[in-house]
Amino acid sequence: MSAPRLVGVLGGMGPLATLDFLQRLLDISGAQRDQEHVPTVTWNVPQIPDRQRALAGGGEDPLPAMLQGIARLNAAGATCIAIPCNTAHAWYGPLSAHSAAPILHIVDATVQALQAAPQPSQPSPARIGVIATRGALSQRLYQSRLEAAGLDYLTPTEQELDTLFTPGCYAIKANDIATGGQLLAQTAEALLARGATQLVMACTEVPIGLRHAAPELLALSVDPATALAQACLRHWRQG
């Protein structure tokens, strides 16, 4: 008889985003009692070096610390692993190579959610505004998969990244939700003003900020953390 399925969560990037992901997993479970919730084991260690700074060439490599978390989750019996940090998926290859448990890919889960979602009636195809870190964009984590799926998109400008997104993201990490939410909402509004008809909140700090500062934008948005939680739920139910 196979062992029960157990979802491992490599968190800490940041810790608030990890808690938010676990809340998403609770929200979508449909559980009516404790025993119906998805079993998880979480490595929520925020001392993992900054992913954005590492990809910019000015920070410590986060891979060894992430590999430590992957090893702990495997040792705990995880049968799949979720990483609720989009930028961390720049290291998806080496992380997967060192994990016995399969690692779910947050971008693949998001593209699947985009393709499954009903499309609003409009004269032209949807254009997706991708709100992501400069590191994630430089690695083309979303662009490559969106192009492969035939989905149109646009991304923040360098100025929007410098003046709106990046300070907004780090404000959320510092638990200044009000400031961070306003800056991330302005990032979203800039993409909409330039032609986006739908948003992908491709940084796990973004939904936290928008829920506080601009909840009306959530109706136009796809949350990769929720898509990843749905993939975790499917994994557990298949067991």
Q: What is the pLDDT along the chain (239 residues), one digit of tens a residue?
A: 456 899 999 999 999 999 999 999 999 999 999 999 999 999 999 999 999 999 999 999 999 999 999 999 999 999 999 999 999 999 999 999 999 999 999 999 999 999 987 665 555 678 999 999 999 999 999 999 999 999 999 999 999 999 999 999 999 999 999 999 999 999 999 999 999 999 999 999 999 999 999 999 999 999 999 999 999 999 999 97
pLDDT at residue 119, rounded to an integer: 62
Burial 85-119 (b: 16+ CB within 10 A, else e): bbbbbbbbeebeeebebebbbbbbbbbbbbeeeee
What domains lie within the chain, and their CATH numbers? 7-106+226-238 (3.40.50.1860), 107-223 (3.40.50.1860)
